[in-house]
Amino acid sequence: MDNSILLKFEIITTLISFLYIIYYYFERIYYNRLEPRLKKMLRSELVVEEIPRETVNIAQKEDFYKKFNLVKDKISKENKEKLEDIIKRVKINSSKWYLDSSKSLIIEWLAIDKNNKELNLELANIYQKEKKYRNAEYIYFDLIETKGDNFEILKSLGYILAIQNKLNKSIKIYEKALARRNNDTEILEMLTDLNFEVWNFKSALKYTKLYLKEKPKDFNKLLIEWICYENTWKIMDAIISYKNILEIQPYNSEVIERLKNLEE
């Protein structure tokens, strides 16, 4: 009796494995056939973007966007539930690093609603995971053009530019983001570090002070503060900054020595 049950279990297990192999095989065939078509579709979208905008009559352009928005609204209403499901699937696949299948789903739906913010952000996130930072950068710039200076998009773009060592461009984008939310500590921290990196000590000092209002005991930012004071010849302020550092690390020999030299 036991052997019979075991045999049935093995048969069921083998059957399930066989069905999974068939499913996986046909899924790969589907995506392999779908991918070239989607890539071609995406390339065609990029080619359209390369057309010089000054050649398009402004009235024609406005008329086109009015018509496009009407179509987009109609499509999004008809497919709202499907789109929400697609976005969930994309996020799950992306979190599991099934990046190719996520991209295929995104590009397919961008053909229907190419300015969809969530889909574009997910695609940019995938490119970031793949370290294709330039592709992510293009997507964020396009989103800013269509959605305006959105805080979330500006923040993501600033980070992508910083990763590519485009520090001055990153600073400008982060400053725009800060104008949208002036007490965001992540933005203030990035602006402090980026300005310090390019030796723009006045700006670095400005953002360090704002950051320290939110987090007054941040040791690294206090170090940046006194270096900025020294490089802008604000010696008395540098002494105060040294004393603030010693409150956190009272036995820091380097800071103690520097403070003695300044006070002499």
CATH number at residue 240: 1.25.40.10
- Tell me what the mean pLDDT of segment 153-174 comes to: 95
pLDDT tens per residue, range 164-206: 999 999 999 999 999 999 889 999 999 999 999 999 999 999 9
230: in domain: yes
2: in domain: no
88: in domain: no
Q: Range of 223's domain?
A: 200-264
Q: What is the pLDDT of residue 250?
A: 77
157: in domain: no
pTM value > 0.85: no
Which two tokens mark 85? 């499901």
CA distance 52 to 50: 6
* Residue 21 CB contacts under 8 Å (≥ 6 apart), including other chains: none
pLDDT tens per residue, range 69-98: 544 445 545 666 677 777 777 787 777 777
The mean pLDDT value of the chain amounts to: 76
Q: What is the pLDDT of residue 9?
A: 60
CA distance 59 to 57: 6
- Residue 126 burial (10 A CB sphere; 0-12, 13-18, 19+): buried
> Is the CB of residue 119 less than 8 Å from the CB of residue 90?
yes
Q: How does residue 138 score in pLDDT terms, banded at 50, 70 and 90?
A: very high
- Tell me what the mean pLDDT of segment 204-225 comes to: 91
CA distance 179 to 159: 16
Q: What is the pLDDT of residue 95?
A: 78
Please indicate whether residue 49 or residue 10 has the higher confidence score (pLDDT).
10
pLDDT of residue 68 exceeding 50, the answer is no
Dump the DSSP string for the chain: -HHHHHHHHHHHHHHHHHHHHHHHHHHHHHHHHHHHHHHHHHHHHHHHHTS-GGGS-HHHHHHHHHHHHHHHHHHHHHTHHHHHHHHHHHHHHHHTT-HHHHHHHHHHHHTT-TT-HHHHHHHHHHHHHTT-HHHHHHHHHHHHHHH-S-HHHHHHHHHHHHHTT-HHHHHHHHHHHHHH-TT-HHHHHHHHHHHHHTT-HHHHHHHHHHHHHH-TT-HHHHHHHHHHHHHTT-HHHHHHHHHHHHHH-TT-HHHHHHHHHHH-
Query: Lowest-pLDDT range, 34-48, 179-193, 220-234?
Result: 34-48
Single out the residue of 240, 251, 232, 198 nearest to residue 216, CA to CA. 240
Q: What is the pLDDT of residue 196?
A: 95
Q: What is the pLDDT of residue 164?
A: 95
Q: What is the pLDDT of residue 263?
A: 66
259: in domain: yes
115: in domain: no
Q: How does residue 264 score in pLDDT terms, banded at 50, 70 and 90?
A: low
CA distance 181 to 187: 9
244: in domain: yes
Domain total in the chain: 1
CA distance 8 to 125: 46
248: in domain: yes
Q: What is the pLDDT of residue 49?
A: 38
